[in-house]
Amino acid sequence: MIANFFSKTKPINFVVLSIVMLIMFIIGMINNLSENISFIFLLKKSVYLLIAILTIFILNFIIRKNTLTDDNTYAILFFILMFGFFSNTFFDKNIFGANFILLFAFRRIYSLRSSIEPKEKIFDSAFWIGVASLFYVWSIVYLLLLFAAIWVFKKRDWKNVFIPIIGFITPIFLVFTYLLMVNRADEFHEFWNVNYSFDLYKYVSIKYLIPILFLVALALISLFPTIRKSLLSKIDFKSTWTILIFHVLLSIVIVAIAPIKNGSEFLFLFFPLAILFANYLQIIKKYWIKEAILYLFLAVLITVNVI
């Protein structure tokens, strides 16, 4: 029933997906309620909710524009449900803001497989990564994804090696210039407070362990059939899939080195994993298996939020 409903992209799907996002947001707000409810509190939370719902439509645009999945909304559903696994993702303003901005970079990176305006796409991608890094410094890791896309999509003009550097530096230079003009240059150093931690002990907690093990298991199950499909597909899809797998690996690196491990860092994995899971669901012929996977997702979601 769920698999059938989301198997096609229809306007009603986005109404339902927005409601599901609202439910995930409310669950997250209940789980992270640490201050008295006031008008200002609700106003701030409403901004987060609006951005989260806007993300649904941006994500759909990226998927449709770059044909990352077939004509369905599985990826968006997976993306939203993962918010319920790690409810902190809504309320870490730096990580939440960085990931929203990175969507604009990913849109341009994946569109590099087209031969239309490659230099503009490369500059735009690096520019948005630069902006995102002002929110969360480890967003800089995605420059490697951009360079990988330049290589894999055969945009290997020597100029394209330097364009990402210029694009990345541009927003950083503009912010520094503004802070210098208003005598707040010292604040610039706060953007580049590079901390990291490899302490994964917190993930041993059952609250994190259940969703992590579930996502790892589903990712491994999804990986081999989807790779096999990509190897049998046209060269452009094969190239896109190479970038997607690299995207997953880079996101794992960001999660692993995150200085504060409170679950919000997993947001970096939502986009590539959602695409991976959606493509796996498309390969499955039997609807009962698709339904089982989606109901397992719901079961994990409920378990995580009741323990």
User: Which domain does 28 fall in, by range?
Assistant: 2-113+197-306
Contact of 138 with 102, CB cutoff 8 Å: no
Contact of 269 with 252, CB cutoff 8 Å: yes
Determine the pLDDT at residue 238.
85
Q: Whats the size of the chain, residue-wise?
A: 307
Q: Confirm whether 185 is domain-assigned.
A: no
The 10s digit of each residue's pLDDT in 224-283 is 888 888 777 776 678 899 999 999 999 999 999 999 898 999 999 999 999 999 999 999
Other beta carbons within 10 Å of 59: 24
Contact of 111 with 66, CB cutoff 8 Å: yes
Contact of 25 with 90, CB cutoff 8 Å: yes
Contact of 25 with 52, CB cutoff 8 Å: yes
Determine the pLDDT at residue 194.
82
Q: Confirm whether 127 is domain-assigned.
A: no
d(CA 72, CA 84): 21
Structure tokens at 41: 């509190």
Q: Confirm whether 79 is domain-assigned.
A: yes
Q: Confirm whether 19 is domain-assigned.
A: yes
Q: Confirm whether 184 is domain-assigned.
A: no
Q: Confirm whether 166 is domain-assigned.
A: no
Low-confidence residues of the chain, pLDDT below 70? 33-38, 235-236
Determine the pLDDT at residue 231.
75
Count how many domains the chain has. 1
Determine the pLDDT at residue 187.
75
